[in-house]
Structure 1
């Protein structure tokens, strides 16, 4: 499934993978979320509820452009830099254009919706 992230006046395309977590995330759309920086690597936001992690690996090694769910905290993570392997992190999507990751670094708010 394709989705669109809107940050300020910029629109970023992303694709969700075929996982239970991605399908559960898509069911929440559209979302408008306030973002905070975490470790100068990712922008994070609280989700309205926890997502399914059925069938997910025990940990993930996130790369810049990944969209992920951090199950221990129940939050969304948008990586603008490569991260570190993290138990409980489930990568469920990716920005289509890796160059768009620079837009995430200073983002304070994001609107996420299905792409038509």
Structure 2
């Protein structure tokens, strides 16, 4: 009886420590944690001394994009409606809808061309367009830029001491 109780207690402690250590684990970076749950992921667009935050959607295309960060790209205006930049390698479109009707502030991937598109004006439905996320505020800063400009895109890190 005593041996069985000791064995049960030992098993319980092993399981408890395993779950505790797993919950505390994760990718860290200097006291900051990289969010692995893509429903909580935010990225920042850094350009011309400005910074915009994008709340990312949870889909395979968004997750594929997040894996590539950080990245620096050159954007240009397209049709007075969106800012676009071609990616070096295409993103996964697994489980993606056939298209969407983007809103102002949508951060998207246009699969036929393999480029990112950030909408600063309304646009109608487009086949092959996949929403990656949405800019939380400040889209007007992006809309004002004329000509080509460089954007550094990074994942927002969460401070472990303030979360």
Which interval holds the TM-score relative to the shorter structure? over 0.9
Give yes or no for the alignment of 1:101 onto 2:139. Answer: yes
Structure with more of its chain in strand, by fraction: 1
Contact in 2 for aligned 1:7/1:103 (Cα 8 Å): no
Q: Distance in 1 between matches of 2:68 and 2:81?
A: 25
Match of 2:112 in 1: 72
Among 48, 60, 68, the residue aligned to 2:100: 60
Task: Determine the structure 1 residue equivalent to 2:31.
Answer: none
Aligned residues, how many? 114
Q: How does 1:1-116 map to 2 (within 5 A)?
A: 1-97=41-137, 100-105=138-143, 106=145, 108-116=149-157
Give 1:115 shift.
Answer: 0.3
Offset, 1:25: 0.5
Give structure 1 regions of 4+ aligned residues with deviation exceeding 4 angstroms: none
Task: Return the offset for 1:92.
Answer: 1.1
Instruction: Give the stretch that moved more between structures: 56-65 or 103-112.
Output: 103-112
The unaligned stretches of length 5 or more in structure 1 are none
Q: TM-score, normalised by structure 1?
A: 0.94
Q: Which has the higher contact order (CA 8 A, sep 6+)?
A: 1
Structure showing the higher helix proportion among its residues: 2
Q: CA deviation at 1:60?
A: 0.5
Show structure 2 runs of 5+ residues with no match.
1-40, 158-163
